[in-house]
Amino acid sequence: MPPQRPHGIYDTTLCVEELRDALAAHGITLPALRPTGLVILGSCSTATARMLAAALRGDGRAAPPAAFDIRMLAVPEIVPDLRRSVRRYLGTPCSDVQLCITELVVNVIRHVGEGTPVQVRVARPAPGRPVRVEVTDPDSRALPVLVRAAGEDETGRGLALLDAVALRWGVEQRAETKTVWCEVR
């Protein structure tokens, strides 16, 4: 499976979710409504889907999504697109959030393996609350360890950077997955 471009998948998924919610508000349920089915089969662009959802809601505007949530393969080539997509989602400069996402995804690449399927989630905060960043991977045994790299070391600084910019961070272990999370102002 080739790496997915977050902005296209993310935009399409958001449009389908907006449209599904707007249709449900009018008593119309389409359980099989999927991003590819709606956009490709219906020859509907994301802009058209957003306008349709807004018209059905009757407010003339698209509702902001509650979270940026994407499943992708952890490969180095996807990181710049992921950073841009998160900035577009938050709608404001967010270098600390982008740094944390980069370090967490790169840790998966380095310690679990390139091409590992991951889920990246960024929750839009309530006013005055921190942004929550989560990266979930399928290896519950490869736990992140904060180490202090020496001056000559070429690796080992990722979690130190994350620790420096995050308010707090941690790991949620499950039977077959783990989620490394952090909260950033």
Collect the ranges in the chain with pLDDT lower than 70.
Answer: 1-16, 20, 23-57, 59-65, 149-150, 152-156
- Extract the tokens encoding 128: 């005055």
Boundary of a domain, candidates 57, 79, 100: 57
Number of domains in the chain: 2
Please tell me whether residues 156 and 179 are part of one structural domain: yes
Is the whole-model pTM more than 0.75? no
Please tell me whether residues 37 and 86 are part of one structural domain: no
The neighbour count for residue 8, using CB atoms within 10 Å, is 14
Residue at 62 is within a domain? no
Quick one: pLDDT at residue 9?
A: 54
Query: Residue 140 burial (CB < 10 Å; 0-12/13-18/19+)?
Result: middle
Quick one: pLDDT at residue 33?
A: 53
Please tell me whether residues 109 and 45 are part of one structural domain: no
Domain that holds residue 21: 6-57
Please tell me whether residues 79 and 29 are part of one structural domain: no
Residue 137 DSSP SS3: strand
Residue at 1 is within a domain? no
Please tell me whether residues 47 and 82 are part of one structural domain: no
- Cα separations (Å) of 57 from 16, 32, 50, 102, 124? 14, 21, 11, 36, 22
Quick one: pLDDT at residue 5?
A: 46
CATH number of the domain within which 128 lies: 3.30.565.10
Q: Which residues of 13-23 are buried (b: 16+ CB within 10 A; e: fewer)?
A: bbbbbbbbebb
- Extract the tokens encoding 125: 């905060």
Please tell me whether residues 95 and 24 are part of one structural domain: no
